[in-house]
Structure 1
Amino acid sequence: MTTETAHRAGAAGNADGAGTWAVLLPAERYEAERLVHHDTLELTALTDVARPGPGDQVAVLVDGPPRLVALGRVTAPGRRHREDPDDPQSPVEPGTLVVAYTRRAFDEPVPADLLTLDGPVTALEPAAFRALADRLGPPPARRTWLVSLDLPIEAGTPAEAVRLFWSYVQELGPRELPAFVSPAGDELAMQAFVLGEQANQDPEEDD
């Protein structure tokens, strides 16, 4: 679906002036994007390749097989975090490709097996981009969820217990700590999530 013509069409842009591109996420970065909410996707090491410009539309994909996990639009390069995507307070350095998310599908990726990717960045025909984006369908309705994290902590005072709580949260994070989530008003429907996926926390059910 991506040909020399597609590359020219993607780089030149649509009628509204925005080009259309596919960006491939490394597996470890995909996991990080699933675990912690980010407003933007910041990518580096894209030297010696054609890259989207500000305003261009981007389909964010993962490989093996190709799946669409998000849509976004390129923003003007600014400053980026020296890459620990789990730590938004990490040091920053000069800018690179920055994509502001407009739609996420990290939990339910959409097959994109008809695309042929030429590397970390591939220009797409506008029609190919629209067809891929249409596969997402309408966004799910937003609702209120109650999310909690319960840790038994031994401490001499309540304040010390709170300090230890935040230390454990920062040290272990979503890769090790189970978070409990339920729809507001329906606590009996609570589920535990670890590594961004539902996890059974009842050892008796594992036996």
Structure 2
Amino acid sequence: MLVVAGHESPVVVALGRVQMVAPEHDPDDPPPGEDEPLVVAYTRRAFDEPVPAERIALDRPVAPVDPDTFQAIIGSLRPAVDRSTWMVSLDLPIEASSPAEAVRVFWTYVMELGPRELPAFVSPAGDELAMQAFVLGEEANLDPEEEDEDSLGDSG
């Protein structure tokens, strides 16, 4: 299946397999109706580089696509990128009277501050020295000394 976003300028953002929530559905039956629950198992994601899909009529949430259009669109999708294993961590110093309390306070901070304020630390698995800080998916410089040097350089 194609996952399409946008009505004015539709784009394909993912490929997937559709599964009915009800196990008795026969895959040879016609596509499910609009009010039947579905589960999508993504096989390829293209959120960062969606593919234009102006040839698809978006007149309902679930609709068949002719085979030629389907093949043309999936042929335009970039191949799946080789995936690497990354170590991602979030370290917060927490003062608490017990480990259980520390965990509760940790999750409270995470929920309140969220990805806009909390840096996540990312490194390739097995190369922790290559760790980088990210805030909201963008690399962030967390070295206060470098920030001070940058601000001094701007004023001179």
CA distance in 1, matches of 2:74, 2:113: 35
Counterpart of 2:89? Answer: 148
Gaps in structure 1 of 5+ consecutive residues: 1-57, 79-93
**Bigger radius of gyration among the two:** 2
TM-score, scaled to structure 1: 0.51
Deviations 1:134-192 (A, max 9, x none): 22232111222110112232323343212211333355555654322221215335241
Answer whether contact 2:116 2:135 (CA < 8 A) is retained: no
**Is 1:98 equivalent to 2:42 in the alignment?**
no
Counterpart of 1:192? Answer: 134
Matched pairs, number: 133
Return the offset for 1:74. 1.1
Counterpart of 2:19? Answer: 75
In the alignment, residue 132 of structure 2 is paired with which amino acid? Answer: M
Counterpart of 1:61? Answer: 4
CA distance in 1, matches of 2:36, 2:62: 17
**Is 1:157 equivalent to 2:98 in the alignment?**
yes
Answer whether contact 1:67 1:109 (CA < 8 A) is retained: no
Task: From the superposition, tell whether residues 138 and 113 of structure 1 become closer, same or farther in structure 2 (CA, over 3 Å).
Answer: closer
RCO greater where, 1 or 2, for CA within 8 Å and sep 6 or more? 1
Identity, in percent, stands at: 49
RMSD of aligned residue pairs (Cα, Å): 3.2
Identify which of 67, 84, 90 aligns with 1:126. 67
CA distance in 2, matches of 1:104, 1:110: 9
| 1:133 partner SS | helix
Moved over 6 A (4+): none
TM-score, scaled to structure 2: 0.65
CA distance in 1, matches of 2:121, 2:9: 31
Counterpart of 1:117? Answer: 57
Task: From the superposition, tell whether residues 183 and 73 of structure 1 become closer, same or farther in structure 2 (CA, over 3 Å).
Answer: same
